[in-house]
Structure 1
Amino acid sequence: MSIIAHLEDLRRALIVSIIGWLLVTVVAFFFSGQVFEFLVQRSGVHQVYFTAPTDPFTLKLKVSLYLGVVVASPIIFQQLWWFVSPGLHLKEKRLILPLIIATTFFFLLGVGFALFALPLIIHVLFGFQFQGLAPLITASELLSFVLGIVIAFGVVFELPVVLYTLGLLGIISSRWLWKHRAYWLVALGLIANVMTPGADPFTPLIVFVPLAIFWLGTTLLLRLTGR
């Protein structure tokens, strides 16, 4: 396939993804108020403030845009794999549908896990505050933080899909992953500490344990499939 054809496929995939995302965003706007209230409640922050007359609208718009990404993720991932598929062999192309499902599943799993861990993350961060100081958190700052955490967890939880795809393409192997397991575990530990900063050594475990399980599971899967 020529470079022009690849660029045309990329353009088509981007257009379909953006249209799907925008359509979902428009629908999500009507539910953004309830979603915002849920996120604030889930964060455990009892009082938030807004500082500009336009904040209520921009907050609803921001929630809608991010919610559009989450809900439209099956469309986005389907287009991503459709774009990648011409570079795969016929045998590998049969795995496209399972990979689309897996990519969507692990992204949504990461989003759900972020919402589960959110109260603990915020509680740990509040533990760093100086004595005598009280938090004055704006709705915009809280929303940006929460949405950033949610999307970050969704992306990080794509680890098994990324590793399996690299194995499928012959870039890495189960033997290579196992040989360098010490480096992988250190890297996963660093990721966990960055995503869940805290003074105690136990909080990062809520991220490290599932990531380590994903890494081990993918290594075993590659081994079982002869890669």
Structure 2
Amino acid sequence: MTLGQHLVELRKRITIAGVAIIVAAIGGWWLVDPIWAALSEPVLRIAEEQDRDAALTYVTVGEAFDTRLIIMFLVGIVAASPVWLYQLWAFIVPALHKNEKRYAIGFLAVGAPLFISGCVAAWFVFPNIVTLLTGFAFSDSATLLTARVYLDFAVKFILAIGVGFVLPLLLVLLNFARVVSGEAMLKAWRWAILAIATFTALATPAADVLSMVLLAIPLVGLYFAACAVAAFNDRRVARKEATLADEYGLASSDD
């Protein structure tokens, strides 16, 4: 394919993924109220557990409407994850050999559940993160958070954990496809940690070092877990190739 054909194909995949997210987001309109109630609950609990004023505020006229749109967008991304993950791999698959395409199928079969599982895990952890971070405030202060900033933090946190659950799978599948070795992954651990730190810095609002660390720790753990799986697979493949080489050598000797 020429560069122009690749761009047309990319536009097609992005369009399909975008339409799927928009359709799912529209369906998520009816989930906005319960989702916002669940996200707001940790802030409301501050007043009871920490004995100080706490509230979510709207500082602009359109902020309440924007909040609803962002929640719809979050629902759309999570609900349409099988579609946009498929479009991602459908763009990559033509560049793979026939025996490597099965790994793309594996990515689709495992990637979407992993992404959703990561989002669900972040959803249950999020209240504890809010309680922990707001607990550093002085006892005589009030916690008055703008709805937009609070929701941005929640969305970035949930999506970052969801993406973080998928990235190690991508590395493992690239290893299974013989694109990258476990040894190379392990040698690049410094660059990986730097990339994870950059990713978590972008995923958290403002310069929140504690949130960056809380996000980075599980991602680093998942990266080294992917390295371990890749190294095990490399040894398995090496033993298989050695066995085949021995059998081929014996067959040649007999001839």
Amino acid at match of 2:20: G
What is the number of residues matched between the two proteins?
A: 223
Pair 1:202–1:148, CA change in 2 (3 A):
closer
Q: Does 1:125 align with 2:130?
A: no
Aligned-pair identity (%): 23
- Show the counterpart of 1:24: 24
Amino acid at match of 1:125: L
Q: Map of 1:120-159 to 2, 5 A cutoff?
A: 120-130=128-138, 132-159=140-167
How far off is 1:64 after superposition?
A: 0.3
Amino acid at match of 1:102: V
Q: Does 1:4 align with 2:16?
A: no
TM-score w.r.t. the length of structure 1 is 0.81
- Show the counterpart of 1:94: 102
Pair 1:128–1:224, CA change in 2 (3 A):
farther
Structure 1, gaps ≥5 residues long? none
Separation (CA, whole Å) in 2 of partners of 1:154 and 1:141 = 20
| Larger Rg, first or second structure (1 or 2) | 2
Moved more, 142-151 or 32-41: 32-41
Amino acid at match of 1:122: V
Separation (CA, whole Å) in 1 of partners of 2:199 and 2:92 = 30
How far off is 1:50 after superposition?
A: 2.2
How big is each residue's C-alpha offset from its partner over 1:109-166, in whole Å with a ceiling of 9 and x where there is no partner? Answer: 2212211221232233224334532211122221111111111111222221231243
- Show the counterpart of 2:171: 163
Pair 1:204–1:61, CA change in 2 (3 A):
closer
Separation (CA, whole Å) in 2 of partners of 1:202 and 1:94 = 35
Q: Does 1:56 align with 2:54?
A: no
Separation (CA, whole Å) in 2 of partners of 1:19 and 1:106 = 22
How far off is 1:10 after superposition?
A: 0.9
Moved more, 125-134 or 184-193: 184-193
Moved more, 8-17 or 202-211: 202-211
Separation (CA, whole Å) in 1 of partners of 2:14 and 2:214 = 41
Separation (CA, whole Å) in 2 of partners of 1:76 and 1:111 = 16
Corresponding residue to 1:116 among 119, 124, 132: 124
Corresponding residue to 2:76 among 68, 74, 87: 68
Q: Does 1:217 align with 2:225?
A: no
- SS state of the match for residue 48, structure 1? strand
Moved more, 205-214 or 2-11: 205-214
Pair 1:99–1:225, CA change in 2 (3 A):
farther
Query: Comparing both structures, which one devotes a greater share of its residues to helix?
Result: 2
Pair 1:190–1:54, CA change in 2 (3 A):
closer
How big is each residue's C-alpha offset from its partner over 1:177-200, in whole Å with a ceiling of 9 and x where there is no partner? Answer: 34x27647865985898679549x
Separation (CA, whole Å) in 1 of partners of 2:86 and 2:40 = 31
Pair 1:160–1:126, CA change in 2 (3 A):
same
Separation (CA, whole Å) in 2 of partners of 1:29 and 1:206 = 32
Separation (CA, whole Å) in 2 of partners of 1:198 and 1:149 = 13
Amino acid at match of 1:45: V
What's the Cα RMSD here?
A: 3.2
Structure 2, gaps ≥5 residues long? 45-54, 242-255
Q: Contact (CA 8 Å) 1:192, 1:207: kept in 2 or not?
A: no
